[in-house]
Structure 1
Amino acid sequence: MTIIEDNAREIASLAMKRFSDNQRQRLMIAIAGAPGSGKSTIAERVVDLIISESGIAAALFPMDGYHYDDAVLEAMDRRAFKGAIDTFDVHGLRHMLERLKANEDDVIAVPVFDRSIEIARAGGRLIPQSVEIIVCEGNYLLAKQSPWDRLKPIFDFTVFVDVEEDDLRERLRARWRGFGLDEAEIDRKVEENDLPNGIFIMKTAAEPDLRLKNPGRE
């Protein structure tokens, strides 16, 4: 069994117990970490395990859908730093998390980021009222600075994924190679943006309920 599988099973088990203890009210889980840390893969597997092993309805909600559009980033002179904490709509994300937790609507459409075109698609995923556990994954879900610090209290259970800096660098480089970028552009993206963001995320995150160490790649 892989490290990611072990991690996902631990989170899924804790989530199912929390759901039972929570009198079966909708449960909100956060899985945070640097880009390339493995959090997305873990989150997806957690959802699969909850559904397959308990019959509890679960859904994935990535925060990447709240990237500002490239046109907005151009106007802010921040497109080259897409993925930094100031390039996300934190207030829109917070309101959506609160709406999802309240679970008062029959169905909620959430945005989903399309990495192949670097654009968030509005209404890219539907989360019906019948979903009982929502696993939200993203870089800054446990950020301590205002107004991001208003997110953590929304969640019932929080996880942070830690990765060593050298390993994170290699994972980020491999990610961009997978998109066909040349080495010069990979150097720029990793060393000037992705890696500094990742280090910032790991150094400034609030303490989670569960901390994972150096799992497999995203």
Structure 2
Amino acid sequence: MTIRLSREEFVARLRELPPGGRRLVAVAGPPGAGKSTLADWLASELDRASPGRAAVLPMDGFHFDDMVLEARGDRPRKGAPHTFDTGGLTATLKRLVENPRGEIAVPVFDRAIEIARAGARIIGPDVETIVVEGNYLLLDDPAWSPMRAFFDVTAFIDVPEATLRERLAARWVGYGLAEEALDAKLEGNDFPNMRTVIADSVPADFAIVEELPAKHRREP
């Protein structure tokens, strides 16, 4: 049963987990939900008590390069589930779990140039909690489902669809898109991806709701 709670309550739950060993926390949600912001906040909050003990692994680092997408005719759908190296991400999760004493380099997506930088972040042996964030981490799909075996805790960011649409539109306006180009980006890619995540993700352990008053909290 999914438990609905605020981000402050969620990080409190993570702090209460038994010490020792390494744990992977999946933070999933549709485009525009604020996954990267939440993941960075969670890691910083966990680090306040134990500096250097938390790190973030972004799913976006495993984008196929534009050269691959162009060759496959998938460039307009960049960001859709089939445009990621799911095997590479699964192998990285496995490596992080099975080799906790190692120093492991992971890729990070550079949104300014739309390219993943290989080896851009190091997750070392002192890291006990890895916050893995991305749209499709809980997707009920053969390419994505094997990843769930490596997650100790799963969370899904619950944001109203109308809010997501506003945020996605504002994001691309900020990158200079307008009118037909903006509509093509949203209707041809972002909104279909958003609907896929909402409709086809398996239930998470926790649903994180923005500004959830205690009196309205419930377990569906």
Structure 2 CA distance for aligned equivalents of residues 185 and 72 of structure 1:
23
Structure 1 CA distance for aligned equivalents of residues 84 and 101 of structure 2:
25
CA contact (8 A) 1:162 1:202 kept: no
CA contact (8 A) 1:31 1:161 kept: yes
Q: Which runs of 5+ in 2 are unaligned?
A: 212-220
Q: Which runs of 5+ in 1 are unaligned?
A: 1-5
Aligned with residue 139 of structure 2, among 120, 143, 158? 143
Which residue of the partner structure matches residue 14 of structure 2? 15
Structure 2 CA distance for aligned equivalents of residues 91 and 109 of structure 1:
16
1:211 aligns with 2:198: no
Structure 1 CA distance for aligned equivalents of residues 197 and 210 of structure 2:
15
The 3-state SS of whatever aligns with 1:73 is helix
Aligned with residue 161 of structure 1, among 154, 157, 167? 157
Aligned with residue 24 of structure 1, among 20, 26, 29? 20
CA contact (8 A) 2:29 2:156 kept: yes
Structure 2 CA distance for aligned equivalents of residues 65 and 88 of structure 1:
9
Q: Which runs of 4+ in 1 moved over 6 A?
A: none
Q: Deviations over 1:25-47 (max 9, x none)?
A: 10100000111011111111000
How far residue 99 of structure 1 moved from its aligned partner, in angstroms, is 0.7
The 3-state SS of whatever aligns with 1:185 is helix
Normalising by structure 1, report the TM-score.
Answer: 0.90
Identity in percent: 45
Normalising by structure 2, report the TM-score.
Answer: 0.89
Structure 1 CA distance for aligned equivalents of residues 53 and 152 of structure 2:
17
CA 1:27 to 1:78, structure 2 compared with 1: closer, same or farther past 3 Å?
same
1:134 aligns with 2:130: yes
How far residue 105 of structure 1 moved from its aligned partner, in angstroms, is 4.7
Counterparts of 1:87-126 in structure 2, within 5 Å, are 87-126=83-122
Structure with the greater relative contact order (CA < 8 A, sep ≥ 6): 1 or 2?
A: 2
Which residue of the partner structure matches residue 3 of structure 1? none
- How many correspondences in the alignment? 207
Which residue of the partner structure matches residue 216 of structure 2? none
CA contact (8 A) 1:26 1:103 kept: no
How far residue 145 of structure 1 moved from its aligned partner, in angstroms, is 1.1
Which residue of the partner structure matches residue 49 of structure 1? 45
Structure 2 CA distance for aligned equivalents of residues 70 and 201 of structure 1:
23
How far residue 61 of structure 1 moved from its aligned partner, in angstroms, is 0.6
What's the Cα RMSD here? 1.6
The 3-state SS of whatever aligns with 1:106 is coil
Which residue of the partner structure matches residue 178 of structure 1? 174
